[in-house]
Amino acid sequence: METIQKDFEWNGKVALITGIGGQDGSYLAEFLLSKGYKVRGMIRRSSYPNTKRIDHLDIYDDVYGKTPESPFYLLYGDLSDSTSIRNILEEVQPDEVYNLASQSHVSVSFNSPESTLNFNAIGPLRILEAIRNMKLSCKYYQASSSEMYGISPPPQNEETPMIPQSPYGISKLAAFHLTRMYRNAYGLYATNGILFNHESPRRGVNFVTRKITRGLAYILTGRKEKLSLGNLDAKRDWGYAKEYVEAMWLMLQQDKPDDYVIGTKESHTVKEFVEEAFNLVNLNWKDFVEILDRYKRPAEVPTLLADSSKAERVLGWKPKTKFKDLVKIMVAADLKEAMQETGYLHVNDMNMPDDFYIEKGKELAKGIKLKRKRI
Ligand code: NAP
Ligand code: F7E
């Protein structure tokens, strides 16, 4: 986790982040705190606390508690609960609202289409309607998604027709249009960030990139023998989540609200991701990966490739981390975690560069190959 400074100089602004416990929410919270924002985050109740990605931000708690002066605190709320949304907006009086909360798993949206639509489409409507009714002058960011393009041929930009293929894609498209409608009809500062896939060591473990890098780390540390995947031919434009949250912020710093595509302008198959990850430690992925139908979807989005020229031109935003670097960051992080958990690392091996963990991974891979030869 990042080191967060206790010293804090307020820039006069307050940001509310829904979905703060998620991958993007945690990076955005760190980014905004570093810019001097007071950050308030909405989390929902779960039977077991689910705040691992933001627990390190609790450092402010001892000094400030949950007071207006505090740089950071959390509030309970839920996208399906209008009352909780209004109460939070009333208490926080935000300058900027980043709506990142959602049921974000495409495959799961086929199993739970109703709640996906409720959280992802009606949730944003509840926030927008509350902002309008309460006459708040805050800026609103909607986490829109490349999944909205569905089967529209690549490359995709702000003008590309959207033909979604999943309940998730449809829910995000409804929220996208609601955001535009509140902007056009009521003059709200409401902006859509159409983000293509973005990943990191904080990615949920059942998204394909993290499933691959964590699966590889488990194989190397002897906790698993194989990795089960679905469709390897789908192509995605994968970027680094930590860089994408700056684009979200930049969107809300413009004079006028608008919609922006964010991506790397590069697309790779799932197979290429697996291959790159296993190659890093000199293993042949074909020896370890099995294909199971249960990981295939009722309908697939074949190719996503961002044309993010508008973001480059207007926001001055460009990704720095490309495909190979991203795979390496994720493999190194998962190797580090798995080796720590299984006792392969010494206490003073904890803050080493990524290459150190990759080299350790290669050593473990040699052992696995030897063992396989003997059998
Ligand atoms: P994530 O890791 O799945 O985080 C989503 C967050 O939303 C979690 O903290 C989750 O809380 C919360 N949430 C879910 N349902 C909620 C509800 N009913 N009420 C309140 N909170 C709720 O997703 P992410 O990768 O950070 O993505 C952030 C946003 O960007 C999402 O809206 C996603 O759909 C969108 N997006 C993501 C990508 C990508 O590649 N990552 C690309 C385009 C768009 P729990 O932990 O309690 O479940
Ligand atoms: O799948 C294929 C799968 O679940 C990527 C979300 O952040 O990005 C994400 O949605 C591809 C698909 O991401 C497995 O069929 C193969 O073609 O990692 P994913 P996603 O569906 O692209 C968009 C932009 C969002 O907005 C979403 O919130 O990989 N795939 N085998 C697999 N996918 C998974 N999850 N698991 C597999 O075993």
Query: Ligand 2: which residue has its CA nearest to atom 5?
Result: 208
Domain assignment of residue 226, given as a range: 208-234+267-304+323-374
pLDDT tens string 201-222: 999 999 999 999 999 999 999 9
| Average pLDDT value for the chain | 96
Ligand 2 proximity of 5 Cβ (cutoff 6 Å): no
Q: What is the 3-state secondary structure (H, E, C) of the chain?
A: CCCCCCCCCCCCCEEEEECCCCHHHHHHHHHHHHCCCEEEEEECCCCCCCCCCCHHHHHHHHHHCCCCCCCEEEEECCCCCHHHHHHHHHHHCCCEEEECCCCCCHHHHHHCHHHHHHHHHHHHHHHHHHHHHCCCCCEEEEEEEHHHHECCCCCECCCCCCECCCHHHHHHHHHHHHHHHHHHHHCCEEEEEEECCEECCCCCCCCHHHHHHHHHHHHHCCCCCCEEECCCCCEECCEEHHHHHHHHHHHCCCCCCCEEEECCCCCEEHHHHHHHHHHHCCCCHHHCEEECHHHCCCCCCCECCECCHHHHHHHCCCCCCCHHHHHHHHHHHHHHHHHHHCCCCCHHHCCCCHHHHHHHHHHHHHHHHHHHHHC
Q: 78 lies in a domain?
A: yes
pTM over 0.95: yes
Query: Ligand 2: which residue has its CA nearest to atom 38?
Result: 229
Ligand 2 proximity of 145 Cβ (cutoff 6 Å): yes
Shortest-distance ligand to the CA of residue 269 = 2
What spacing in Å lies between the alpha carbon of 8 and ligand 1's midpoint?
Answer: 27
User: Tens-of-pLDDT digits for all 375 residues of the chain?
Assistant: 454 556 799 999 999 999 999 999 999 999 999 999 999 999 999 999 889 999 999 888 888 999 999 999 999 999 999 999 999 999 999 999 999 999 999 999 999 999 999 999 999 999 999 999 999 999 999 999 999 999 999 999 999 999 999 999 999 999 999 999 999 999 999 999 999 999 999 999 999 999 999 999 999 999 999 999 999 999 999 999 999 999 999 999 999 999 999 999 999 999 999 999 999 999 999 999 999 999 999 999 999 999 999 999 999 999 999 999 999 999 999 999 999 999 999 888 999 999 999 999 999 999 999 988 876
Q: For the domain that residue 227 is a member of, what is the CATH number?
A: 3.90.25.10
Give the pLDDT of residue 3.
47
Active site (catalytic) residues: 145, 147, 168
Mutational test site, ligand 2, from 197, 211, 262, 297, max ligand atoms within 8 Å of CB: 197
Q: 9 lies in a domain?
A: no
Residues 196 and 212 in one domain: no
Q: 42 lies in a domain?
A: yes
Q: 279 lies in a domain?
A: yes
Q: 318 lies in a domain?
A: no
What spacing in Å lies between the alpha carbon of 163 and ligand 1's midpoint?
Answer: 22
Residues 88 and 147 in one domain: yes
Ligand 2 proximity of 208 Cβ (cutoff 6 Å): yes
Q: 108 lies in a domain?
A: yes
Ligand 2 proximity of 271 Cβ (cutoff 6 Å): no
Give the pLDDT of residue 241.
99
Q: 310 lies in a domain?
A: no
Residues 332 and 225 in one domain: yes
Q: 1 lies in a domain?
A: no
Ligand 2 atom, smallest distance to 206 CA:
35
Q: How many domains does the chain have?
A: 2
Q: For the domain that residue 250 is a member of, what is the CATH number?
A: 3.40.50.720
Ligand 2 proximity of 147 Cβ (cutoff 6 Å): yes
CA distance to 49, 50, 100, 200, 213, per residue, from 27 (Å): 19, 16, 11, 10, 20
pLDDT tens string 276-314: 999 999 999 999 999 999 999 999 999 999 999 999 999
What spacing in Å lies between the alpha carbon of 98 and ligand 1's midpoint?
Answer: 11
Ligand 2 proximity of 104 Cβ (cutoff 6 Å): yes
